[in-house]
Amino acid sequence: DTEVTQTPKHLVMGMTNKKSLKCEQHMGHRAMYWYKQKAKKPPELMFVYSYEKLSINESVPSRFSPECPNSSLLNLHLHALQPEDSALYLCASSRREGFSGNTIYFGEGSWLTVV
């Protein structure tokens, strides 16, 4: 079972709204990730959590705020987004970050439209 579950599947928000994306995995993975994907492009890494601690922030604007409440859950809090932030946001997980052969499994994604 390699399931990463994301909610909501679709989200439309105004530029002054505050919303959150949620992600859950029950594979016992200790690394979780947020990626952003634009149409016809590969995923771009945003954040990495390793053992519930933020280990990588790829210079993401502060209007994106990640949170890892426990080893199974990952949230992405959104505030004051811009229209150019509209994209598919992918949550992913892997057994452990930083070990050769680390395989990253993606969720179905949350489609975000900022109006």
Partner 1 sequence: QQQVKQSPQSLIVQKGGISIINCAYENTAFDYFPWYQQFPGKGPALLIAIRPDVSEKKEGRFTISFNKSAKQFSLHIMDSQPGDSATYFCAASRDGSARQLTFGSGTQLTVLP
Residues that bind partner 1 (CB under 8 A): 2, 4, 6, 31, 33, 40-43, 45, 48, 56, 58, 88, 90, 92, 94, 96-109, 111
What is the rounded CA–CA span in Å between residue 62 and residue 91? 18
Terminal-to-terminal C-alpha distance of the chain: 36
Nearer to partner 1, 17 or 50 (CB): 50
Nearer to partner 1, 18 or 38 (CB): 38
What values do phi and psi take at 105, rounded to 5? Answer: -110, 130
Q: At its nearest, how many Å lie between partner 1 and the CB of residue 25? A: 13
Nearer to partner 1, 22 or 79 (CB): 22
Rg, Å, the chain Cα set? 13
